[in-house]
Amino acid sequence: MPATSYNRGHPIVYNNGWRYLDNILVEADPDRPCVRCGKPLIAGRDACLGYIPNVISVCCGHGVEEGFIKFYG
């Protein structure tokens, strides 16, 4: 059984590289928008969250799972 995951809410599968279910390589389509908000990444950040100071990592969950925020310290 192949490895599966999500990229911004889109199901992906590992098949000679991570690919969306429509067979497009994830790296070849870096601007695919989030399933939840419909926006692409902006400056490497989820557009729906924007910039949040003092944060190590943050994710909106992309409509797949609960979002999270990890603060410094």
pLDDT in tens, 7-44: 889 999 998 889 999 888 888 887 889 888 888 888 77
* Alpha-carbon torsion (69, 62, 30, 6), positive or negative: positive
Question: pLDDT at position 19, please?
Answer: 93
Spatial distance between the Cα atoms of 53 and 11, rounded to a whole number of angstroms: 30
How many folded domains does the chain comprise? 1
Residue 51 CB partners (closer than 8 Å, separation 6+)? 45
Range of the domain at 40: 4-71
Banded pLDDT at 71 (limits 50, 70, 90): very high
C-alpha angle 38/40/46, rounded to 5°?
A: 95
User: pTM for the complete prediction?
Assistant: 0.74
